[in-house]
A and B are shown apart, each in its own frame.
Chain A
Amino acid sequence: MKKRIFANIAAGITAAAMIAAVGSCGSGSQAETTAAAPEPAAADNSLQKVLDDKQLILGLDASFPPMGFTNDANEIVGFDIDVAQEVCDRMGVTLVKQPINWDNKEEDLNVGKIDCIWNGMSINDSRKQVMNLSDPYMNNEMIFTVPKDSGITSMDDLKGKTVGVQSGSSAEEILMASDIYADITVTALEDNVTLLNQMELGFSDAVFLDSVVANYLITENSKDYVILPGNLEAEEYAVGFRKNDQALRDEVQRILSEMKADGKLGEISTKWFGSDITTVK
């Protein structure tokens, strides 16, 4: 007990020093992490550590229905959570759901606050570089949704209209890189729900977002939105691990394949999406 208090005090002092240091080297700390991250790959005890600790800490944003989100009792639920729970059961460890700040997810993974990121995370190049990603487990499309009586029926009708998109998301990147970008006005906001509300209130004509999210929000809240046919780009979801945690990544991947084979994955997918839409091999 005494030692812990001491350690806490020491931690406090170092935190003070850190906060002091940030003023002088805001960018320096970033460089430090990337430099410190690749540890000697010789001993990969990542799987053993999880088994020894008897817990897998899953980091998530907890506001991405239906993959991983918070229910009305402040419990974290969703498709990803159900799958992760089953994986942990088969590994014989406890699943710990750790909410994180999505902006800092790479840091949380690096410093070991969490063991994996599992929250409907799209695969992209930068994530491939800093994480050890699982095989893709689900396809996702980026689609436009509009109010039912808007008169907009195809992507061509969007010319000259205002489209909302989540700022900093892969949806925003895709939209900006697309041909249609030149013909529309884009408003970027922090979350999809606010964007949909704004569309309902007439601030925008359409919202560009993940089909998985759109489908869920529309059915769950019985909204009068329709999804325009076609999509801009297909994406895939994957689970992210620390770069060197190969053993843990492989074990989770093995269990996912096993679950696909014995039908458990299909069962969970049916519960959330009405059919098996997973792409695990």
Chain B
Amino acid sequence: MTSEQIMTLFGLMLEYTVPTLKIFAFTLLYSIPLGMVVALLKMCRFKPVSWLTNIYILIMRGTPLLLQLIVAQYSVPYIIRSDICPQFLKDMLGGVDIRSDSYTFNMMLIAFVLNYAAYFAEIFRGGIESIPKGQYEAAGALGFSRLQTFFRIILPQVIKRVVPASSNEIITLVKDTSLASAIPYMEIMYIAKKQVPLYASLLPLFMAGAFYFVFATVLTALFSFIEKKLDYYR
């Protein structure tokens, strides 16, 4: 490849880091709070809720994300055509334009969020359950309400405990965003794959690899900084 070609390619790939970052950011934005909710639902004393949550987590962690991404894309048309689908749902989903770009993106995001929320939920549950009972008792004896206890006493301690495991998950997400290329959604991996036949060269893939590497390295540095910041107590 000529250096001119390489510059063109580099420019194009740089442009498509934006959609990759978009998947990454939106997935985190929704899956972290959802993961917290799921963690609390799983710990719910009302058993059916806890069981249902368990099944959700089992499926999300037990099937490939790639499969979930594909299923999400076809979910709406499948449901509209299914015989057991009630009419009101058909009417509601009938307004969804499955050909639109926003549909592709939203369905992809839903799959990413549901998948990652399941993983975050397990991390958060572990974090919440690792807080000694005495913390709740002390807070109760001091008159804190349940909500105050959770947000002021428990959650700050949970955050510190879940940072290492979460950062692992978040760095995995950086690389998992590349699965979007299979839908296909035009992010950096898609571009790289489609540029390969054009130049009859694997350089586009290496460039994509370099991007993920840089992104993951920056995040690693960021998380070690955060861990250090949270190290003010033991």
- Given A14-B89, A23-B63, A32-B82, A70 and B194 contact (CB-CB distance below 8 Å): yes
- As a 0/1 sequence over residues 37 to 58 of chain A, the CB contacts with chain B under 8 angstroms (1 = contact) are 0000000000000000000010
Quick check: B71 and A22 within 8 Å, CB to CB?
A: yes
Of the candidate stretches A217-225, A243-251, A271-279, the one touching chain B is A217-225
Kindly report which residue of chain A lies nearest to residue B81, judged by CB atoms.
Answer: A36
What sequence of 0s and 1s flags, for each residue 33-73 of chain B, a beta carbon within 8 Å of any chain A beta carbon? 00000000000000000000001101110110001101110
Tell me, rounded to whole Å, the shortest Cβ–Cβ distance linking B61 to chain A: 11
* Chain A positions 166 through 200: 1 when the CB is less than 8 Å from some CB of chain B, otherwise 0: 00000000000000000000000001111011000
C-alpha spacing A107/B75, complex, angstroms: 12
Within 8 Å of chain A (Cβ to Cβ): is B18?
no
- By the criterion CB–CB under 8 Å, are B196 and A221 in contact? no
Is B197 in contact with A18, judged by CB distance below 8 angstroms?
no
Q: Decide: A20 and B196 in contact? CB cutoff 8 A.
A: no
Indicate if the CB atoms of A10 and B59 lie closer than 8 Å: no
Instruction: Pick 7 A–B contacts, CB within 8 A, sort by A.
Output: A15-B76, A17-B79, A29-B78, A32-B78, A74-B194, A111-B77, A112-B99
Whether B193 and A20, one on each chain, are in contact in the complex, defined by CB atoms closer than 8 angstroms, is no
Q: Which bracket fits the contact residues of B?
A: 35 or more
Interface assignment of B155: CB less than 8 Å from any CB of chain A: no
Contacts of B5 on A, CB cut-off 8 Å?
A: 72
B-side residues, CB < 8 A to A, are: 5, 8-9, 12, 16, 55-56, 58-60, 62-63, 67-68, 70-72, 74-79, 81-82, 89, 92-93, 95-96, 98-99, 103, 106-107, 110-111, 114, 182-184, 186, 190-191, 193-202
Q: Which residues of A contact B (CB under 8 A)?
A: 3-4, 6-8, 10-12, 14-20, 22-23, 29, 32-33, 36, 57, 62-65, 69-74, 98-101, 104, 107, 111-114, 191-194, 196-197, 217, 220-221, 223
Question: Are B75 and A8 interface neighbours, CB within 8 A?
Answer: no
Q: Are B200 and A221 in contact (CB under 8 A)?
A: yes
- Given the complex of chains A and B, what is the CA–CA distance between A197 and B67 in angstroms? 30
Contact between B96 and A72, CB atoms less than 8 A apart? no
Q: Which residues of A contact B98 (CB under 8 A)?
A: 111-113
| Chain B neighbourhood of A29, CB < 8 A | 71, 74, 78
B41 smallest CB distance to A (angstroms): 14
B187 → chain A, closest Cβ, in Å? 12
Residues of B within 8 A of A223 (CB): 200
Known: A19-B72, A29-B78, A196-B200. A99 touches B96 (CB 8 A): no
Contact B92 A7 (CB under 8 A): yes
| A-chain residues with CB within 8 Å of residue B114 when the two chains form the complex | 16, 19
**A112 adjacent to B77 (CB under 8 Å):** yes
A12–B96 CB distance below 8 A:
no
Q: Are A15 and B107 in contact (CB under 8 A)?
A: yes
What chain A residues lie within 8 Å of B111 (beta carbons)?
A: 15, 19
Check if B184 sits within 8 Å of A193, measured CB to CB. Answer: no
